[in-house]
Amino acid sequence: MAKNLVTKTFNALYEWVITLAGLAFFLISGITFTIVGIFLKPFLSQSLAHKVGRKCFHYSSKFFFAALDASGLVKVDFKELDKLRDERGIIITPNHPCLMDVLFVTSRLPNVVCVMKGSVLSNPLFFGIASLGGFIRSDTPTRFIQQCQQSLSDGGQLLLFPEGTRTQNETINPFKGGFSLIAQKTGAAIQPVFIEANSDFLGKQWPIWKKPSFPLVYRTTLGKRFNVEKKQDHRAFTKELQKYFKTQISKSRTTL
C-alpha cells in the first residue's frame, strides 16, 4: 500500500511538472518571439520577415508537441495535415475546441497565415511573432479582406476559425461569414480540418491553471474540400458548412 501511495504521489508530481513546463514554454517562447520580432523586423524585407516568422512559429510548435509526446502524457496524431504541406493559396478552417488549436496546425504546416482577434494579436506573448509572420487581425473588416486576399495570392495558407472563438457548446458555435466571403472573392478552396480531443483542457470554460486528467489525446483529420461560387449566396454557404461540421463532429465524438 505504501508503494502504491509513493507511485501515485510521483505520478501526480510528474503530471504537475509537465503541465507547468508546458505553460512556461508558452510564456518564454512568446516573450522571446516578441523581443526578436521587434528587433529583427526593421532589417528584413516584408516577404523575408513573413517567411522567418512563420518558420519560427512552425518549428517551435513542432518542438512543443514532440516534447509533450516524449513525456508520455500527451499523444498527438496530426499526420493528415501533412497532405496540405505543399498546397498554396487555400483557406484552412478548423473547429476550435481549445487554446492550442493554432499550434496543432502550425506544428505541421510551415506557411500558415493565422487570422486572429485583435485582442489576441496585441497580446505581448503573440505580438512579436504575429507582426513578423504577417498574421491578420479579424476585427478591421476592410483591411482584413485586403490582407487575406494578398496572403492567398502570395501562396500563403490562411488559417481561419469559422466560429471566431473557442467552442462553447457540445458541438460547434454558429459560424461567422468572413471565411466564405474571402473564398468567394479570391476563388480559394476551403479545407475543413476536424480537431478531436478526449478532454476539455484549455477549452472556453477551462481555467488555465487547472491540471487536466492525463493522458491527453489529440487528432486532426481532413474533411472534404469546398469552393464558393461567384454567384452563390455566401451566407447560405456558411450555414451549409456549419451543418457539415456539426454532422462530422457528432459522428467522431466516440472515436478517440
Q: Which residue has the higher pLDDT, 251 or 175?
A: 175
Q: What integer is the mean pLDDT of 136-159?
A: 89
pLDDT at 149 over 80: yes
Write the DSSP symbol of residue 41. G
With cut-offs at 50, 70 and 90, classify the pLDDT of residue 31: confident
pLDDT at 65 over 70: yes
CATH of the domain at 92: 3.40.1130
| Segment of 62-66, 131-135, 227-231 carrying the highest mean pLDDT | 62-66
pTM above threshold 0.85: yes
pLDDT of residue 256: 65
Q: What is the mean pLDDT of the chain?
A: 89
Write the DSSP symbol of residue 87. -
How many domains, in total, are found in the chain?
1
**Residue 190 is part of which domain span?**
2-252
pLDDT of residue 251: 76
Percent of the chain with pLDDT over 70: 96
pLDDT at 160 over 80: yes
pLDDT of residue 177: 85
With cut-offs at 50, 70 and 90, classify the pLDDT of residue 2: low
pLDDT of residue 254: 57
pLDDT of residue 197: 93
Q: Where are the beta strands (DSSP E) in 102-176?
A: 112-116, 136-137, 157-159
Residue 182's alpha-carbon distances to 115, 153, 157, in angstroms, are: 12, 12, 13
With cut-offs at 50, 70 and 90, classify the pLDDT of residue 1: low
pLDDT of residue 26: 84
pLDDT of residue 59: 94
CB 90 within 8 A of CB 188: yes
Angstrom distance (rounded) from CA 35 to CA 47:
20
Q: Which residue has the higher pLDDT, 116 or 72?
A: 72
pLDDT of residue 21: 92
Q: What integer is the mean pLDDT of 9-19?
A: 89
For the stretch 100-120, pLDDT in tens is 999 999 999 999 999 987 777
Burial class from Cβ neighbours inside 10 Å (0-12, 13-18, 19+) for residue 158 reads buried
For the stretch 173-226, pLDDT in tens is 999 988 999 999 999 999 999 999 999 999 988 888 888 999 999 999 999 999
